[in-house]
Structure 1
């Protein structure tokens, strides 16, 4: 199902909205997309001085596509995949100073909540919200939106994001959040952040920009536009057709006011709507016992007639598979990426994660090699995109091999 801006009543257009000059842009050699790298001037914030934005970070799941590095006791968001800090800590850190840690809520599962709290000591323990069971991101967003409403009021601005994204330019990222917050604060819309779709990737969502909200600031120059169609995880052919229509990738980042999000879920998402009253009354057990599983993208974005997109140019990538690390990590001249004691000879396009042993590759291409806790895992980079069918076939003692938490 997809949404069309002509399928229902639209909120009033923000024809008076304008965008301040963004930070300095530099061309990205690989994609040709301009990437903002400058600092947002502290004296000229896009948000008003009284607009205290909150953040909701989705950090559930173990990241099975990163087996054997990830496991139920060492989920992906606690791994140091991109730098010296766990991904969840990097995520919280890049929000500051726009959103300080005390205004960050993290939604996660019961079995990893303690580990999440330990990884982000700057975030108050009560800000880590626990889902009793995984029910999709729509339920998680509703839960967090109601909690922000309880603490800060129904018109509070919220930035929603995932813990496992890569961001190359944090200053530009915060500038984009501030820009999106300026749009969301002026009308009853949900503002998603899109970035240039440089390939027909079926793992992402796609948003097709329509009419710009301001005649003076078109989407192509950093303005905001209504979304004429949103499609979550299309086929490769469908993704290519969407790109022909100037669709952008949905980064998983969006900004909204709590009242707007809860009203949108009530209107468009029946899987969640019938349980929202219980949530508002504080009956979390009733809510999670009755809500149906769906994602925020399929359950709301594909159905909404009030979805807006702003361009995000901050070096985004979704760290969803081993293959994505080849884009996010530093590579040698032959496109090899290694962690730990890894050595490459006459080889190209390989990914190696070595813990506790040396790995030497000679005369091979596009392999993934992972050594950890006595297990050596070898496959091609292409086959590593979805390891869940493999995990279902492994003996339990092998499947849970990556169970030792990473050392600080």
Structure 2
């Protein structure tokens, strides 16, 4: 669309908490998924910041993360001002994290400042298409004073994602939201995909003031705690009080599902949340036998395997659909299908093999 860039003056908010236990044995509490080079040679967070850089400068990019990850993230992204890497004192869900980010943006950029909210651990196949979708979402958010999400056009019947049902189209490509659906069965996912549902990506775009208004009206889990520090200095004491007083809740549940001001735009730019080792077969470059490999790997008569060799070499012969991960003195072997259920494995491990053990 012609006219001024709708992301001019926008802020980027990157959610980079969590430990990514499904990427054991490489992921650890001090080097979780977002700090690992899983798609290419760069950590996922570095990929995310590079995708956002053409839209938003480092001075207006916030990263919210665990207190233990502040130092490695500052080392990874020295271009970010130190105060832009915000330590969450305790895990409290995405509603609290985005509430604090919105408060920060409103105080530093004003209530009309647009926020482009993303997660640090995605793969994006078409960065230009991703940025175009964010621009469209920013324009819609400002024009309609709405909370906008970008729903991904599904490429498969995946029960691992939430879904969004678009409702009436209020302008070309912009829909009201009929409802959000949590992770369905595979059969229901197939029906919803056929009916035009979109994947709930977790991409959110809104003006800081609009989000704070809806949070205050719709989210009793978080709003009272934010009101209590609304006039306090933006310091360690205020953030500590806020995170101690909130009730953890996801922003999807706490705000988006309750608000009548939610719009959705379809997006198709190769998005994947890279949730498991097996998912790397969708986002890494593949060889002629559809193997996704990293490191010193030799394969013969092997197909559709995911191999990550960090240190020692890995040789596969005559096997298909395996996940093999070598790193930190450990070797994991499972199937692509079973790689989505590593929690069961981790719960069974002796203490010395558990993440952080």
Deviates more, 1:310-319 or 1:53-62: 310-319
Which residue of the partner structure matches residue 325 of structure 1? 280
Residue aligning to 1:278: 228
Alignment partner, residue 210 of structure 1? 167
Once residues 183 and 279 of structure 1 are traced to their aligned partners in structure 2, the CA distance between those partners, rounded to angstroms, is 30
Any idea what SS the aligned residue of 2:298 has? Answer: strand
Separation (CA, whole Å) in 2 of partners of 1:355 and 1:53: 38
User: What is the aligned partner in structure 2 of residue 257 from structure 1?
Assistant: 207
Please say if residues 232 and 302 of structure 1, whose CA atoms lie closer than 8 Å, have aligned partners that are also in contact.
no
How many Å separate the matches in 2 of 1:154 and 1:228?
27
**Could you tell me which residue of structure 2 aligns to residue 97 of structure 1?**
54
On the 8 A contact 1:158/1:258 being kept in 2, the answer is: yes
Residue 288 of structure 1 deviates from its aligned partner by 1.1
Superposed CA RMSD in Å reads 1.7
Contact 1:55 1:103 in 2 (8 A): yes
Distance, in Å, in 1 between the alignment partners of 2:195 and 2:304 is 31
1:304 equivalent to 2:254? Answer no
- Three-state SS of the structure 2 residue aligned to 1:371 is strand
Tell me the distance in 2 between the aligned counterparts of 1:276 and 1:241: 40
Q: Is the 8 A contact 1:322 1:385 kept in 2?
A: yes
The answer on whether the counterparts of 2:12 and 2:61 sit within 8 Å (CA) in structure 1 is yes
Indicate whether 1:156 and 2:156 are aligned.
Answer: no
Deviation for aligned residue 1:112: 1.1
User: Paired residue for 1:55?
Assistant: 12
2:56 and 2:213 map into 1 onto residues whose CA distance is 24
- Aligned to 2:9, what secondary structure does the other structure show? coil
The answer to whether the 8 Å contact 2:90/2:244 transfers is no
Q: Give me the whole-angstrom Cα distance separating, in 1, the residues matched to 2:254 and 2:290.
A: 38
Contact 1:232/1:297 (<8 A) preserved: no
| Distance in 2 separating the partners of 1:58 and 1:203 | 20
CA distance, structure 1, for counterparts of residue 27 and residue 276 of structure 2 = 11
Q: Which residue of 2 aligns with 1:354?
A: 309
- Deviation, structure 1 residue 343: 1.6
Q: Secondary structure at the match of 1:353?
A: strand
Contact kept, 8 Å, 2:20 with 2:32, in 1: the verdict is yes
Q: 1:385 aligns with which of 340, 343, 349?
A: 340
The aligned residue for residue 184 of structure 1 is: 141
Name stretches of at least 5 consecutive residues in structure 2 with no aligned partner. Answer: 233-237
What TM-score results when the alignment is normalised by the length of structure 2? 0.94
Shift of 1:45: 4.7
Greater RCO, 1 or 2 (C-alpha within 8 Å, sep 6+): 1
In the alignment, which of 180, 183, 186 is matched to residue 230 of structure 1? 180
CA distance in 2 between counterparts of 1:287 and 1:237 reads 41
Whole-angstrom distance in 2 between the partners of 1:266 and 1:389: 38
**Alpha-carbon offset, residue 147 of structure 1:** 0.8
- In 2, the alpha carbon distance for the partners of 1:298 and 1:237 equals 24
Aligned residues: 352
Matches within 5 A, 1:59-138: 59-138=16-95
* 8 Å CA contact 1:101, 1:123 repeated in 2: yes
1:12-33 Cα offsets, whole Å, 9 max, x none, are xxxxxxx45xxxxxxxxxxxxx
1:363-382 alignment, distance < 5 Å: 363-382=318-337
C-alpha separation in 1, matches of 2:305 and 2:223: 46
In 1, Cα distance between equivalents of 2:100 and 2:343: 28
Corresponding position of 1:24: none
Q: Deviations over 1:87-122 (max 9, x none)?
A: 111111111221111110000001111111111111
**Residues 232 and 298 of structure 1 are in contact (CA less than 8 Å); yes or no, is this contact kept in structure 2?**
no
Q: Which residue number in structure 2 is paired with residue 3 of structure 1? A: none
3-state SS of 2:222 partner = helix
What SS class does the counterpart of residue 259 from structure 2 fall into?
A: coil
TM-fit CA distance, 1:230: 1.4
* 1:167-193 CA distance string (max 9 Å, x none): 122222211111111111112211101
TM-score (normalised: structure 1): 0.82
Report the counterpart of residue 290 of structure 1 in structure 2: 245
Aligned counterparts of 1:382 and 1:76: Cα–Cα separation in 2:
19
What SS does the aligned partner of 2:167 have? strand
